[in-house]
Amino acid sequence: MWGDSLLIVFISICTAFLGEVEKRKEAHGDSLDKQHKKKIEREEERLKNNNRDLSLVKMKSMFAIGFAFTALLSMFNSIFDGRVVAKLPFHPISWIQGLSHRNLPGDNYTDCSFIFLYILCTMSIRQNIQKLLGFAPSRAASKQGGALFATPPSQFK
Protein backbone atom coordinates (compact mmCIF):
# COMPACT_ATOMS: atom_id res chain seq x y z
CA MET A 1 0.00 0.00 0.00
CA TRP A 2 2.84 2.38 0.79
CA GLY A 3 4.41 1.57 -2.53
CA ASP A 4 1.19 2.61 -4.24
CA SER A 5 1.07 5.96 -2.45
CA LEU A 6 4.69 6.70 -3.27
CA LEU A 7 4.05 5.73 -6.87
CA ILE A 8 1.21 8.25 -7.04
CA VAL A 9 3.43 11.01 -5.70
CA PHE A 10 5.99 10.10 -8.34
CA ILE A 11 3.35 10.09 -11.06
CA SER A 12 2.11 13.52 -10.11
CA ILE A 13 5.66 14.90 -10.09
CA CYS A 14 6.16 13.51 -13.58
CA THR A 15 2.91 14.91 -14.95
CA ALA A 16 3.57 18.30 -13.40
CA PHE A 17 6.97 18.44 -15.06
CA LEU A 18 5.44 17.34 -18.35
CA GLY A 19 2.99 20.21 -18.23
CA GLU A 20 5.67 22.74 -17.38
CA VAL A 21 7.99 21.59 -20.15
CA GLU A 22 5.17 21.95 -22.64
CA LYS A 23 4.47 25.42 -21.29
CA ARG A 24 8.12 26.39 -21.56
CA LYS A 25 7.91 25.69 -25.27
CA GLU A 26 4.98 28.09 -25.47
CA ALA A 27 6.77 30.75 -23.47
CA HIS A 28 9.74 30.49 -25.80
CA GLY A 29 7.42 31.04 -28.72
CA ASP A 30 6.05 34.10 -26.97
CA SER A 31 9.43 35.77 -26.52
CA LEU A 32 10.32 35.10 -30.13
CA ASP A 33 7.12 36.77 -31.12
CA LYS A 34 7.97 39.85 -29.08
CA GLN A 35 11.35 40.18 -30.76
CA HIS A 36 9.67 39.99 -34.10
CA LYS A 37 7.31 42.73 -33.14
CA LYS A 38 10.16 45.10 -32.41
CA LYS A 39 12.10 44.26 -35.53
CA ILE A 40 9.35 44.32 -38.13
CA GLU A 41 6.98 46.98 -36.97
CA ARG A 42 6.22 47.97 -40.53
CA GLU A 43 5.40 44.53 -41.74
CA GLU A 44 2.19 44.32 -39.82
CA GLU A 45 0.66 41.97 -42.26
CA ARG A 46 3.36 39.43 -41.64
CA LEU A 47 3.07 39.94 -37.95
CA LYS A 48 -0.60 39.21 -38.11
CA ASN A 49 0.11 36.00 -39.93
CA ASN A 50 2.74 35.08 -37.38
CA ASN A 51 0.35 35.77 -34.58
CA ARG A 52 -2.28 33.62 -36.14
CA ASP A 53 0.22 30.81 -36.55
CA LEU A 54 1.38 31.25 -32.99
CA SER A 55 -2.09 31.07 -31.54
CA LEU A 56 -2.74 28.02 -33.66
CA VAL A 57 0.37 26.34 -32.27
CA LYS A 58 -0.60 27.44 -28.77
CA MET A 59 -4.06 26.03 -29.16
CA LYS A 60 -2.64 22.81 -30.52
CA SER A 61 -0.29 22.39 -27.58
CA MET A 62 -3.06 23.27 -25.15
CA PHE A 63 -5.20 20.58 -26.70
CA ALA A 64 -2.25 18.20 -26.58
CA ILE A 65 -1.73 18.89 -22.87
CA GLY A 66 -5.42 18.48 -22.11
CA PHE A 67 -5.67 15.32 -24.15
CA ALA A 68 -2.51 13.78 -22.70
CA PHE A 69 -3.55 14.55 -19.14
CA THR A 70 -7.03 13.18 -19.65
CA ALA A 71 -5.64 10.01 -21.19
CA LEU A 72 -3.05 9.61 -18.45
CA LEU A 73 -5.60 10.19 -15.73
CA SER A 74 -8.06 7.67 -17.10
CA MET A 75 -5.23 5.18 -17.56
CA PHE A 76 -4.05 5.51 -13.97
CA ASN A 77 -7.65 5.49 -12.84
CA SER A 78 -8.18 2.10 -14.38
CA ILE A 79 -4.84 0.80 -13.08
CA PHE A 80 -5.71 1.78 -9.51
CA ASP A 81 -9.37 0.92 -9.85
CA GLY A 82 -10.79 -0.43 -6.61
CA ARG A 83 -7.44 -0.35 -4.82
CA VAL A 84 -6.89 1.28 -1.46
CA VAL A 85 -3.74 3.31 -1.99
CA ALA A 86 -3.50 4.99 1.38
CA LYS A 87 -5.00 5.19 4.82
CA LEU A 88 -6.34 8.60 5.78
CA PRO A 89 -5.49 9.68 9.32
CA PHE A 90 -8.89 11.44 9.55
CA HIS A 91 -12.51 10.92 8.55
CA PRO A 92 -13.14 13.11 5.50
CA ILE A 93 -16.24 15.30 5.47
CA SER A 94 -19.20 13.97 3.53
CA TRP A 95 -18.70 15.91 0.31
CA ILE A 96 -15.08 14.86 0.10
CA GLN A 97 -15.95 11.23 0.74
CA GLY A 98 -17.22 10.89 -2.81
CA LEU A 99 -13.73 11.74 -4.01
CA SER A 100 -11.64 10.00 -1.40
CA HIS A 101 -13.69 6.80 -1.50
CA ARG A 102 -14.31 6.65 -5.23
CA ASN A 103 -14.67 3.13 -6.64
CA LEU A 104 -13.61 1.57 -3.36
CA PRO A 105 -15.42 -1.36 -1.79
CA GLY A 106 -16.67 -1.27 1.79
CA ASP A 107 -17.57 1.75 3.83
CA ASN A 108 -14.43 2.35 5.80
CA TYR A 109 -14.04 5.98 4.89
CA THR A 110 -10.45 6.22 6.03
CA ASP A 111 -9.50 4.26 2.92
CA CYS A 112 -8.18 6.59 0.27
CA SER A 113 -8.60 6.18 -3.46
CA PHE A 114 -6.08 7.08 -6.14
CA ILE A 115 -7.88 10.17 -7.37
CA PHE A 116 -7.88 11.95 -4.00
CA LEU A 117 -4.19 11.46 -3.36
CA TYR A 118 -3.39 12.41 -6.94
CA ILE A 119 -5.34 15.64 -6.73
CA LEU A 120 -3.65 16.57 -3.46
CA CYS A 121 -0.23 15.82 -4.90
CA THR A 122 -0.94 17.83 -8.01
CA MET A 123 -2.17 20.76 -5.98
CA SER A 124 1.04 21.00 -4.01
CA ILE A 125 3.68 19.71 -6.38
CA ARG A 126 2.51 21.41 -9.56
CA GLN A 127 2.28 24.85 -7.96
CA ASN A 128 5.67 24.51 -6.36
CA ILE A 129 7.29 23.36 -9.58
CA GLN A 130 5.70 26.28 -11.41
CA LYS A 131 7.05 28.62 -8.80
CA LEU A 132 10.51 27.07 -8.91
CA LEU A 133 10.73 27.29 -12.68
CA GLY A 134 9.29 30.78 -12.66
CA PHE A 135 6.13 30.00 -14.63
CA ALA A 136 3.64 30.92 -11.96
CA PRO A 137 1.65 33.99 -12.96
CA SER A 138 2.78 37.02 -11.02
CA ARG A 139 0.66 38.06 -8.08
CA ALA A 140 -0.55 41.23 -9.73
CA ALA A 141 -1.54 39.35 -12.86
CA SER A 142 -3.45 36.67 -11.03
CA LYS A 143 -5.20 39.27 -8.94
CA GLN A 144 -6.28 41.37 -11.91
CA GLY A 145 -6.88 38.65 -14.44
CA GLY A 146 -8.69 36.36 -12.05
CA ALA A 147 -9.85 33.33 -13.94
CA LEU A 148 -8.02 34.27 -17.13
CA PHE A 149 -4.53 33.84 -15.70
CA ALA A 150 -5.33 31.22 -13.13
CA THR A 151 -3.80 27.84 -13.90
CA PRO A 152 -6.44 25.76 -15.60
CA PRO A 153 -7.14 22.52 -13.77
CA SER A 154 -7.05 20.69 -17.07
CA GLN A 155 -5.75 17.45 -15.62
CA PHE A 156 -8.80 16.90 -13.47
CA LYS A 157 -11.11 16.49 -16.44
Q: Which of 88, 137, 142, 154 binds another protein (CB under 8 A)?
A: 88
Instruction: Decide if residue 151 touches another protein (CB under 8 A).
Output: no
Nearer to another protein, 104 or 121 (CB): 121
How far apart are the C-alpha atoms of 65 and 15, rounded to whole Å? 10
Q: Which of 32, 138, 153, 157 binds another protein (CB under 8 A)?
A: 138
CB of 79 to another protein, least distance (A): 18
Nearer to another protein, 45 or 89 (CB): 89
How far apart are the C-alpha atoms of 3 and 13, rounded to whole Å? 15
Instruction: Decide if residue 110 touches another protein (CB under 8 A).
Output: yes
Sites of contact with another protein (CB under 8 A):
1-2, 5-6, 9, 86-91, 108, 110, 112, 117, 120-121, 123-125, 127-128, 131, 138-139
